[in-house]
Structure 1
């Protein structure tokens, strides 16, 4: 029985003909952690102004297979529900459980044996109802030529399909874990089998209308723009102007597509990145505030406390 295609949008890069708006001018940022911070002197006040330099976050391993059970505990709820994206193509394979999934600003349900494919930079989040099980698979950006250029959500009802994709994922996980000769080549070949399997499932899917309505196209374009610029602008008006609509119209479209206003999408994306940086790096709070586009560490701390119920420093201590 063919797989059912539940979610499909055009490639994010083609969702809007609008060019990215010019970025706001700010002081230069340098990411070399080995270079000591310099002091800039104002000609009028002759007071030293410290420029915060934010180092790059280290790139994760190219191939990764992680169990979903590790990321959906009560304390880690922010890791799944908040909007985020990945720097490489990603597959999510749900084997048990159900909930709500938002991809490119459009929300739908998910259940057991749902496979979600996310191209690089696709904003998404999911809210499980109870515990969910499965795997999240990260593939190298170099493999993008052999993978679809649009997000997909598929449901597989046949046991043979479920066993095939589970076996391919487990095979990749074994190659990642085992330090055997030709490991890199074996991982690449295993990932290639996964991409071939995915293309075969897409080929036998029933035809659907792949052109979403205007509001969903707008929301998808909006989330794509937010993903590129949330470090610089937290204003709905900024994104609405870039997309040629009013802030009210943009928020109405977001409410229709996923049940939340446009401002909540920005706030969720910034909040996720703030928590991730606090949890996974030792960057000072001031550096994180700078990286996320806040004008001052105090303003960042107030915004974080409002969302998380504690200060950034207290949050980091609680981990």
Structure 2
């Protein structure tokens, strides 16, 4: 069975026909349709994502580092990068999924940009509106036009990154703790299905579990074990909610020693058994 690591297309729109573009623009509140865990728990997508927050505030964790976000913050997350963010009732904005085949000159690393100038804010909102119009159009070449607009998003990001780099106060400089947190998040994303424990992952990174947990607490306010458990439980809930995979196969796919152990861990995390969770979603 082929498993899709991003949000199900049915959650946002009808699946694209073969050969059609898979660009999607989604109101940020709709990302939490089916449960806040869909955005707040650690997960990754198999395509690049841009979050454009226009109202509200909260905290967002990307690659093991947590920062606050507010209105007119743009957060770019490359494919495969672990992340999650708080979403309250006042949070509004747009999530742009670029599609798996798209690469319009996008950054290779996560970016968190605080856009203070009204002109730059209007530029991004205008380009996103143009992408949406083309994706809803039936005119010839509308998909090609949408992808050209995605290229403008890439240019916009490049220019805002250049402005941020020229302003030392715009973003914290990566230090040893953030670099280790980034490495741990990347390793965790690759191996959370393996059944490895934090001690195993720490050994691969060349540090002690104690040091790794101290660093994670510093960079995101959570232990290394909590990040690992959260990532596995998000995937468990996604598989239970979005696929017909038997519970025993969900357990095995996530590296649990037995279905019984998986059920205890899942119930301890969510308050429901896997079967109850599936019935209620």
Answer yes or no: same fold by TM over 0.5: yes
Q: Cα offset for 1:207?
A: 4.0
More helix as a share of residues: 2
Structure 2 match to 1:46: none
Counterpart contact for 1:175–1:183, Cα < 8 Å: yes
| Cα distance change on mapping 1:278 and 1:200 into 2, 3 Å | same
Q: How many residues align?
A: 264
Counterpart contact for 2:104–2:154, Cα < 8 Å: no
Q: Cα offset for 1:182?
A: 2.0
Tell me which moved more, 190-199 or 109-118: 190-199
In our comparison, the structure showing a higher alpha carbon Rg is: 1
Matched, 1:202 2:161: yes
Q: Secondary structure of 1:146's match?
A: coil
| Cα distance change on mapping 1:179 and 1:311 into 2, 3 Å | farther
Counterpart contact for 1:94–1:133, Cα < 8 Å: yes
Matched, 1:56 2:2: yes
* Structure 1 unmatched ranges of 5 or more: 1-54
Residues 1-319 of structure 1: matches in 2 within 5 Å? 55-58=1-4, 62-72=22-32, 76-144=35-103, 146-205=105-164, 206-208=166-168, 211-319=173-281
In structure 2, distance between residues paired with 1:180 and 1:94: 30
* Structure 2 unmatched ranges of 5 or more: 10-15, 17-21
Q: Secondary structure of 2:154's match?
A: helix
Q: Cα offset for 1:88?
A: 1.1
Structure 1 residues 213-247: Cα deviation after superposition (integer angstroms, max 9, x where no partner): 21111111000000011011340011000001111
More strand as a share of residues: 1
| Cα distance change on mapping 1:212 and 1:203 into 2, 3 Å | closer
Structure 1 match to 2:13: none
Q: TM-score, normalised by structure 1?
A: 0.78
Structure 1 residues 72-130: Cα deviation after superposition (integer angstroms, max 9, x where no partner): 47x62111211111111110010110001111111110000100001111111111344
Q: Secondary structure of 2:252's match?
A: helix
Which consecutive segments of 4 or more residues in structure 1 shift more than 4 A? 58-61
Q: Cα offset for 1:290?
A: 1.8
Q: Secondary structure of 1:310's match?
A: coil
Structure 1 match to 2:19: none
In structure 2, distance between residues paired with 1:199 and 1:254: 29
Higher relative contact order (CA 8 A, sep 6+): 1
Q: TM-score, normalised by structure 2?
A: 0.88
| Cα distance change on mapping 1:293 and 1:180 into 2, 3 Å | farther
In structure 2, distance between residues paired with 1:78 and 1:93: 20
In structure 1, distance between residues paired with 2:187 and 2:53: 28
Structure 2 match to 1:23: none
